[in-house]
Structure 1
Amino acid sequence: MRDEIINRINNQADRFIAISLFIGEHPELGHQEFLAFEKLTGELRAQGFEVEAPVLGLETAFIGTYRAAKPGPTVAFLCEYDALPELGHACGHHLICSMSMLAAVGLKAVIERVGGEIRVYGTPAEETKGAKVPMADAGLFDDVDIALMGHPYYRHEKSGSSLAMDALRFEYFGKPAHAAASPHEGINALDAMLLLFGGINALRQQLASHVRIHGVIKEGGKAPNIIPDYTSADFYIRSANRPHTDEVVQKVLRVAEGAALATGCTLRTSNYEYAYDELITNEPLSELFSANLLALGVEEGQIYSGKDNGSLDLGNVSRRCPSIHPFVQIIDERHLLHTKEFRDQAMSARAMQGMVLAAQALALTAFDAVSDPEALARIRERFLQSTAD
């Protein structure tokens, strides 16, 4: 059956390469991925999947399902297809959606004999308001036995961890006044904002090395001769896990409150994007994926142990079901994600070969897990251990 999976993927590869190239040539921002949505859902229907769309009121979210007549485990392949502002598909999401769908198509070749259900989740806006968060909150992954996706990169890396993250907006409200004639009549919201940045910089000395805090001022005032009465800034606050991130957020909030108190401003805080939890990699499932890369011809020394220092909405899914997020080599030069160089190379013939390899490894990993009750039991046991509070 493994050969059947590989043969189905190879026979369908050109269709999904064309989809990757189309989406790569038509980048769309999160929750605006209408062309990608139409392309992907249309292909799923053509491949015999039932498609639910939209999902949770998200216009570009979907779930494609194929149920075998024989009961069995549920496998989820996750698609991302949003692009970055100005850069386009510099994170390779045009490859992620194709590799996941191609993997699902490959597994479908044998699922009637294995038994179970294949789902393809279309999850918009991973770069901002990741749809996996409300999907996980709504319980859409609670009955999934394994969830898989791969990420394009310049080398192969095992599924590791990511940083939990909160997205905080700080707004200060002051009082305008003429900056030269009557500055004493004003309350300077920009002073409060500068104190916030200074206070966070002072706080860094007392923070763990895995903490990341970075922000930008979105509104700093209108003119130098007017005391600014309104300022705003957006921050990402990250750390290795959710409990620690919550602690750091409280420290930053106290800094923000102190800046308001020192200047006489009023402070308003809000979350402008969803909170992401850290990724909990399911190690038995990850080991199956690495074994399949080796079986497909990747050399032992070419699979590295890595750690994603960014944040993933898949982290929220990994608390609901066993999940992996390995990185798969799609280029031969060292270009980093979110760069023009990576974007350009991710449209190459070499990148398309890497996408097909990733699809093969994902499909074979899913097959190994769902066709072996002992392997699935190990995966489930590790999931329960790693998510126990």
Structure 2
Amino acid sequence: MHIANIKTEILNFLDSLKNRLFSLSCDFYHNPETGLKEYKTSAACVAILEEFGFTADKAVAGLETAFKAAFGNGRPAIAFLVEMDALPQIGHGCGHNISGVASLGAAIAVSQAIPKIGGNVVVLGTPAEEIGVGKIAMIKAGLFNGLDCAMMTHPSSKRMVTRIFLGLIRLNLHFKGRASHASAYPEEGINALDAVIQTFNSISALRQQLRSDVRIHGIITDGGVAPNILPEKASASFYVRAKDLDELYAVKEKVLNCARGAALATGCQLTVEEGSDINAPLKINKALADTYRRQLEFLGLREDDFPMDKNAGSSDIGNVSQVLPTIHPHILLKRGINIHTKEFADATIAADGENAIMEGARCLALTAAELISDKALLENVKRDFSDGGGV
């Protein structure tokens, strides 16, 4: 069957599923679950996939709420990623109820075409994106092995096909000094809080010598127990971000040098606790992005003119993009609002939310259908990945 006819069937099927998908997203909104606790959300995702003939494995990669579901067999194997976690207090202020359901809808729609076009549709339920651990654990467990592409969308105040994500390293710095009475015997103490403050000051001076994409931000997590006691212990937590791994590691070392210098200057002992895994930068795949962009144009939608490197954050989707071709477009939820807010969460259950789900599901499904049907296109995507991607 011609790809144009396949696309028409996919879009018609998604239209028939529209109310069901929006209802599921609203259920997720009203029952938000934070990272690694997405029990009801994960179960509901698996249930609808099994209803449409997917075979599912639950609690994969040692994560109780992670799952892998598949329809079809062989290659190409296209993965749709489902993020499920909400934010503490805010709920679905990051819109994972939108993006997750869009991936479910796309996967189910493409599965209806598998008997005609072949291939394999895989759905990976990836917990705890906000913590940045789910996809990394699933990569280590081999759940991305044997896949040709991975894709998902994310709701936003703008429509963007390509958007960078910065690499992220987490650092916890612990300083140990010597306690003493701050008034009676200050000369006998070593103030650990001074070391923390000096670290912050050194990092502030460092910023003027860093690239524009680099971000360093931190908080004091332990500053002592009372004003009249020189703090024996003090700690700070920092995030270091950059858009490529070489720069990320280089800046991390500069931050550690700031802490080492502060420890030396104050006479404190420094202990560094580094997060076990980094969030890697997103590796852009031009061929895959262009394929998605064609679907936007096919549907009569226009991408916003917005710098791809502006207001960038970090996500474990970057780690996925380092191991196979990946796309993470931003779909339009509502203009003029910011993610990680209650206003953003509330928009997901309005008409804007329904429109965003359908935009994401349609574009992802049509992109996957082209990749499965066009062997040359898929090879071009893989070649772009091997060559380093880029736009």
**TM more than 0.5:** yes
Pair 203,368 (structure 1): closer, same or farther in 2 beyond 3 Å: same
Which residue is 1:156 aligned to?
Answer: 159
Which residue is 2:71 aligned to?
Answer: 66
Aligned-partner Cα distance in 1 for 2:305–2:50: 35
Q: After superposition, what is the alpha-carbon deviation per residue over 1:275-332, rounded to whole angstroms, capped at 9, x for unaligned?
A: 1111112111111111111111214x6465523611121111111111111111122x
* Structure-2-length-normalised TM-score: 0.94
* Alignment check: 8 A CA contact 1:132 1:314 kept: yes
Asked if 1:22 is matched to 2:27, the reply is yes
- Equivalent of 1:91 in 94, 117, 125: 94
Cα deviation, residue 85, structure 1? 2.3
| Equivalences for residues 281-320 of structure 1 within 5 A | 281-299=284-302, 302=304, 306-307=308-309, 309-320=312-323
Corresponding residue SS for 1:104:
helix
- Equivalent of 1:133 in 132, 136, 143: 136
Which residue is 1:338 aligned to?
Answer: 340
* Alignment check: 8 A CA contact 1:52 1:62 kept: yes
* Alignment check: 8 A CA contact 2:333 2:355 kept: yes
The percent identity for this pair of structures is 38
Pair 44,67 (structure 1): closer, same or farther in 2 beyond 3 Å: same
| Equivalences for residues 365-376 of structure 1 within 5 A | 365-376=367-378
Q: After superposition, what is the alpha-carbon deviation per residue over 1:51-92, rounded to whole angstroms, capped at 9, x for unaligned?
A: 112111111111111124xx4300000011111222221111
Cα deviation, residue 122, structure 1? 0.8
Asked if 1:264 is matched to 2:267, the reply is yes
Q: After superposition, what is the alpha-carbon deviation per residue over 1:308-364, rounded to whole angstroms, capped at 9, x for unaligned?
A: 611121111111111111111122x31111222222212212211221121011000
Aligned-partner Cα distance in 2 for 1:281–1:191: 42
Aligned-partner Cα distance in 2 for 1:240–1:155: 21
Answer with 363-372 or 259-268: which moved more: 259-268
Which residue is 1:49 aligned to?
Answer: 54
Which residue is 1:111 aligned to?
Answer: 114
Answer with 43-52 or 376-385: which moved more: 43-52
* Alignment check: 8 A CA contact 1:8 1:105 kept: no
Aligned-partner Cα distance in 2 for 1:66–1:374: 23
Corresponding residue SS for 1:147:
strand
The Cα RMSD (Å) is 1.7
Pair 45,6 (structure 1): closer, same or farther in 2 beyond 3 Å: same
Which residue is 1:183 aligned to?
Answer: 186
Letter of the 1:334 counterpart: G
Letter of the 2:363 counterpart: A
* Alignment check: 8 A CA contact 2:56 2:67 kept: yes
Aligned-partner Cα distance in 2 for 1:182–1:304: 58
| Equivalences for residues 339-354 of structure 1 within 5 A | 339-354=341-356
Cα deviation, residue 37, structure 1? 1.4
Q: Count residues with an aligned counterpart.
A: 384
Cα deviation, residue 387, structure 1? 6.8
Aligned-partner Cα distance in 2 for 1:38–1:57: 16
* Alignment check: 8 A CA contact 2:52 2:108 kept: yes
Corresponding residue SS for 1:90:
coil
Corresponding residue SS for 1:214:
strand
Which residue is 1:209 aligned to?
Answer: 212
* Structure-1-length-normalised TM-score: 0.95
Aligned-partner Cα distance in 2 for 1:273–1:220: 25
Aligned-partner Cα distance in 1 for 2:48–2:307: 34
Pair 197,304 (structure 1): closer, same or farther in 2 beyond 3 Å: closer
